[in-house]
Amino acid sequence: MPSSLALTPGLGSFLKCLKTNPIDTSIETLISLLKRRQIRHSRSCATATAYLLRSVISACRTTDSAKLIERVQSVGRRLMAAQPREMVVGNIVRRVLGLIRDEAEDDREAEFALSDIGSESQPQTPRAFDDPALPLDRDSLSFRSEDRTTRPPLTSMFSLLSHPEPEHSLPSTPGSSSPSGRLPGHSPSKDVRAEVLEGIGEIIDELGQVDDQIAAYALDHIHSNEIILTHTSSTTVQKFLLKAATKRKFTVIHAESYPNNHEATHATVSGSASDDDNLGLEAFQKPLIEHGITVILIPDSAVFAIMSRVNKVILGTHSVLANGGLVAAAGTRVIARAAKVHQTPVVVVSGVYKLSPVYPFDFDSLIEYGDPSKVLSYEEGDLVDLVDVQNPIYDYVPAELVDLYITNIGGHAPSYLYRIVSDHYRKEDISF
């Protein structure tokens, strides 16, 4: 790969590699990038996964949806095994699987509709005549209707009483799902694959727009002269604050998130951020201070002391779990807990793509540990031998510490997240 040599390994190099290399090489490349943590922001991982799956599906020359599902599942399993804590990878795989299933079912339903027109007219006939001398006809009819009960049950609660059949959940109202949701109706003859590719295109578009969509809610939540506390250099949070800064004057207190993110945070505050993983978009952005916003940078240890003055805490996240809890940069839990003690509202901004249907059975397994030399460098060799240094990168924040989630489809209470999960992922894909 001479072309990608110029780039440092990351999202950019992967996307370039995807264009030039065969699909299997690309899969391997992404797996090794994930394993080596050379691609690590949630959005970069999600984007890479979506692009990879798009290539996988376009390389898969079949119209059989079952085969497509199988292929995506096998690729998805390998990606998830490469980095199980990067939950967005699984989320994107699940959404693509959901897309394929939707398309396949739309087709089947369209066929049903056609056959229904044929058979529907028949029951009418005996009824209209109401002739008791038609028992034969009735019997054959009841047989047919029995056949057609292979239709999905209305809810899972009815599954107890219904005919034996594969499970199926009711399609959600299209209005409540994000753009990637359902596609409009189409004729059954259409190519499933083309529809799925279009759907993945929408997911990729969503990933690109997600921060701006979230930022659109900023003015509802940030008011004049408020004091906002935030943490880490999350682009979602920065865009959110910048949007509000165009109209309002407020103060931002920025905890520096030492030792894993403090450099990026400092750069964000001073406006010298140039993150190659974010495709250079951020470099064009003016920092908050240039909008006349007072930004106060504090060490993480000062969070509790300053919390009594804060009006609102706005946090970015790594991923959000189905129970309303979240996995975010280390130090987030301390902030959320301090906010709880001071009864300060905690708002979490996150794209829907970070919302994982996984239930956190074991919180400890979600926490990733990073490079301990950031805490205690190897130059202090004597000490390294004597103490055990740990550097957790993430924190698990339980749902009761969060007051509001703002996603690209609106604001939600933590207890409502299960609903968004069920809108975006199919039940059969949750554990594949």
Partner 1 sequence: MASTNSDAAVADTKPFDIVATYNELLSSDADLTMPIAAIEALVLLLTQSASSTISETLDLLEKSTAHLKRSIPNPIGLSAGTDLFQRYLITTLQRPGQLGPAGDFKAIRTHLLSNGRLFIRRAKESRDKIASFGRGFIRDGSTILTNGGSRAVAALLQKAADDEGGHSAVRFRVIYVLSSTSQDCNHPNEEPEGMETVRALRSKGVPVATIPESAVAYSLGKADMVIVGAEGVVENGGIVSRMGTYQIGLLAKAIGKPFYVVAESHKFVRLYPLGQYDLPIEQQVVEFKSEEDLAEDCKPQSIADTNGDTSIKLPLCDSVDFTPPRLISALITDSGVLTPSAVSEELIKIWF
Note the residues at the interface with partner 1 (CB under 8 A): 116, 120, 123-124, 127, 138, 141-142, 145-146, 148-149, 151, 154-164, 170, 322-324, 359, 361-362, 415-416, 418-419, 427, 430
Minimum CB distance to partner 1, residue 156 (Å): 4
Note the residue count of the chain: 432
Q: Which residues contact 180 (CB under 8 A, 6 or more apart)?
A: 95, 99, 199, 202, 203, 206, 424
Task: Please report how close the Cβ of residue 119 comes to partner 1 at its closest, in angstroms.
Answer: 9
155 Cα distance to chain centroid:
25
Residue number with CB closer to partner 1 (74 or 156): 156
Closer of 135 and 392 to partner 1 (Cβ): 135
Neighbours of 420 (CB within 10 A): 23
Quote the least distance from Cβ 365 to partner 1, whole Å. Answer: 9
Residues 88, 46 contacting (CB under 8 angstroms): yes
Nearer to partner 1 by C-beta: 172 or 373? 172
Given the complex with partner 1, which of 153 and 316 has the nearer CB atom? Answer: 153
User: C-alpha distances in angstroms, 417 versus 363, 399, 413?
Assistant: 18, 10, 7
CB of 271 to partner 1, least distance (A): 41
CA-nearest of 259, 319, 343, 387 to 94 is 319
Residue closer to partner 1 by CB (options 25, 142) is: 142
Residues with Cβ within 8 Å of residue 412, at least 6 apart in sequence? 404, 405, 406, 419, 420
CB 206 within 8 A of CB 353: yes
Choose between 163 and 249: whose C-beta lies nearer to partner 1: 163
As measured in angstroms, the least distance from the Cβ of 334 to partner 1 is: 17
Q: How far is the CB of 313 from partner 1 (least distance, A)?
A: 22
DSSP string, 224-242: TT-EEEEES--HHHHHHHH
